[in-house]
Amino acid sequence: MSRPRAPVGWARYYQIVRRIPRGKVSTYGDIAILAGRPRSARHVGYALAALRETDHDVPWHRVLGARRRGRAAVSILDPTGAAIQRLRLEAEGVVFDAQGRITLDDSGWRPRRT
């Protein structure tokens, strides 16, 4: 069973995810872009997947996927994990619409850029 360690590049992703304020969310694609890997969105998810077996303080539940025209949905992972993610987000004040999606224009995290 592969037990993915934590490559140096992953630390970059973790640090960015930690920057996401409570009540806000981001997407794998955005995290990848902020990390300087605009085409490596998959690796962000892969890096976060490794957190499941590791000791960490990364708010992984604030990272969503499948960004579609301003809206995002909870990732597919295991149904249980998805439910936990949604519960945690709602506990932080993130609002889901009737379709179970989140409006990034409202809850999306906008990192400081200049």
Partner DNA sequence: TGGATGACGTTCT
Partner DNA sequence: AAGAACGCCATCC
Q: Which is nearer to DNA, 4 or 21 (CB)?
A: 4
Residue 15 CB, nearest approach to DNA (Å): 14
CA distances from 27 to 1, 2, 45, 93 (A): 28, 26, 10, 17
Regarding 80 and contact with DNA (CB under 7 A), the answer is no
Residue 98 CB, nearest approach to DNA (Å): 10
Q: Which of 19, 23, 77, 103 binds DNA (CB under 7 A)?
A: 77
CB-based contacts of 104, cutoff 8 Å, min separation 6: 25, 27, 67, 70, 71, 72
Q: Which is nearer to DNA, 11 or 95 (CB)?
A: 11
Q: For the chain, first and last CA: distance in Å?
A: 44
Other residues' Cβ atoms within 10 Å of the Cβ of residue 61:
23
Distance between CA 73 and CA 86 in Å, rounded? 10
Q: Which of 57, 80, 98, 99 binds DNA (CB under 7 A)?
A: 99
Residues in 11-50 at the binding interface with DNA, rule: CB under 7 A: 27-29, 37, 39-46, 48-49
Q: Does residue 63 contact residue 20 with C-beta atoms inside 8 Å?
A: yes
Binding site for DNA (CB under 7 A): 2, 4-5, 7-10, 27-29, 37, 39-46, 48-49, 51-52, 60-61, 63, 65-69, 75-77, 81, 85, 99
